[in-house]
Amino acid sequence: MKRYVVSILMFAMLLSFTLGFGVTTVKFMNFSSSGGNEKYLDQWKAAFEKQNPDIKVDIETIGFGDYFTKLATVIAGGNAPDVFELNFENFSTYASKGVLYNLSKLIQQTKYDLSVINKNALAAFQVSGTQYGLPYSFSNVVLIYNKDLFDKAKVGYPTDKWTWTDVLNAAIKIRALGPTIFGIYQPITFNELYKMVQQNGGSVLNKNGTAFTLNSPENVETLQYMLDRVIKYNVMPNEAQLAGMGDWDLFISGRLGMIVTGSWAFPTFKEKANFDWDIAVEPGNRKKATHFFSNGLVMSKDTRNAEAAFKWMAFLSANKDVAITRVSAGWELPAAMYPDVIQQYKMVTPPANKQAVFDSLNYLVTPPAIVEFQKVSDIVNKHLEAAVYGKKTAKQALDDAQAELEKTIKLK
């Protein structure tokens, strides 16, 4: 009789496992794997589920353009995924809404090893020292240049000592090579402005983050420099000259001397650019400042699967195989900075000067920690666009943007 009962219990356990009973499903929504990297995320899912047979991951990948609209909708409807991806720019917004899970206890309970995680990326997802997210990846921006055009223009390659003046002088000489050849491309947008004003000793907010300082003299000088490259010197193409061509395509075509863009461009340029190119730390004026972008993984405060969800988050953030895949694919940098993995990253060329990516980390500038970051960006970009089209001076554009921000946006 006992054997019979034991057999029945064993059969029930087997049937339960086969049908999925006792298996926790973690719903995961992300944007960064869209556009060709989905296969890597599927590989990671398979590896994770093999290590954790009691956990299944349900992945939903949405393109960046639609991601935050969909995320806001599901959260408002009470259907938030257990784990979802946030970029740093939107992290403050979601943290302020109180929809994120405090990870502190889970980090302590699981003895999650923070030592391998990039400190800047880790700090990006904290609020007053409390960890509300784990970094997933990070990247920065560098100066990428066409060595062939520099050679033709008889200009020395960019170095870490270059300033805005050096960039402009090189761009002028490269522009002189032909009517369809341009010296540099760097968007005149809020994302570039908040960084470049710091290269010139300015800032978007005061030290306490309680007031906008957008129209300071240093900032006006910065915007004037950006506009002059298009309007006065025309070393950067205007919209008509671009004729619908994207900045990356212009560089790949061999008609652009320099482009300021992210390290995520390397795989595309490596595949498509039929000329020699390399990188340097982005030049500044009074000082250097380089972009820092990070995508993180956060958990819904309403999740019923906190422990399983955290295992998935920790795996994506710190697993060495995940880090190796990222550097092999050129898909941004992993948050986990294993020395041998980073060495592997440096060995994948071009660019030859991969060290510039890491040197840039000495000059990081994060986006302003503003809850309504996207709204601020939209307001400023509207006035910047007017300046680009010659409808406003640099000072008028920033004065008008400052006034609208003061009227519309509430800070701390």
Q: Specify the 3-state DSSP secondary structure of 277.
A: strand
The answer to whether 126 and 94 have CB atoms below 8 angstroms apart is no
- Please state, as a whole number, how many other Cβ atoms lie within 10 Å of the Cβ of residue 369: 18
Q: What is the pLDDT of residue 17?
A: 43
How many CA atoms does the CB half-sphere of 350 hold within 13 Å? 19
CATH value at residue 8:
3.40.190.10
Give yes or no for residue 28 having a pLDDT over 70: yes
Q: What is the pLDDT of residue 21?
A: 56
**Pair (297, 171) in one structural domain:** no
Q: What is the pLDDT of residue 329?
A: 82
Q: What is the pLDDT of residue 206?
A: 95
Q: Which domain does 369 fall in, by range?
A: 140-292+353-408
For residue 246, give both structure tokens: 């994207």
Count of the separate structural domains present in the chain: 2
The answer to whether 311 and 55 have CB atoms below 8 angstroms apart is yes
Grade residue 213 by pLDDT with cuts at 50, 70 and 90.
Answer: very high
The answer to whether 266 and 351 have CB atoms below 8 angstroms apart is yes
**Pair (231, 323) in one structural domain:** no
| Average pLDDT of the chain to the nearest whole number | 92
Query: Beta strand 256-262 with 24-30: parallel, antiparallel or unpaired?
Result: unpaired
Q: What is the pLDDT of residue 35?
A: 81
Beta strand extents in 132-181 (DSSP E only): 133-146
**Pair (378, 240) in one structural domain:** yes
**Pair (162, 221) in one structural domain:** yes
Q: Rounded distance, CA 144 to CA 142, Å?
A: 6
| Contacting residues for 109 by C-beta, under 8 A, at least 6 apart | none
**Pair (310, 374) in one structural domain:** no
Q: What is the pLDDT of residue 138?
A: 87
**Pair (153, 129) in one structural domain:** no
**Pair (270, 333) in one structural domain:** no
Best CA proximity match to 212, nearest among 19, 356, 405, 12: 405
**Pair (14, 94) in one structural domain:** yes
Q: Rounded distance, CA 89 to CA 198, Å?
A: 18
Query: Percentage of the chain with pLDDT > 90?
Result: 80
DSSP string covering 4-67 = HHHHHHHHHHHHHHHHTTTPEEEEEEESTTTTTTHHHHHHHHHHHHHH-TTEEEEEEE--HHHH
Q: Burial-class residue 52 by CB neighbours within 10 Å (0-12, 13-18, 19+).
A: middle
Give yes or no for residue 39 having a pLDDT over 70: yes
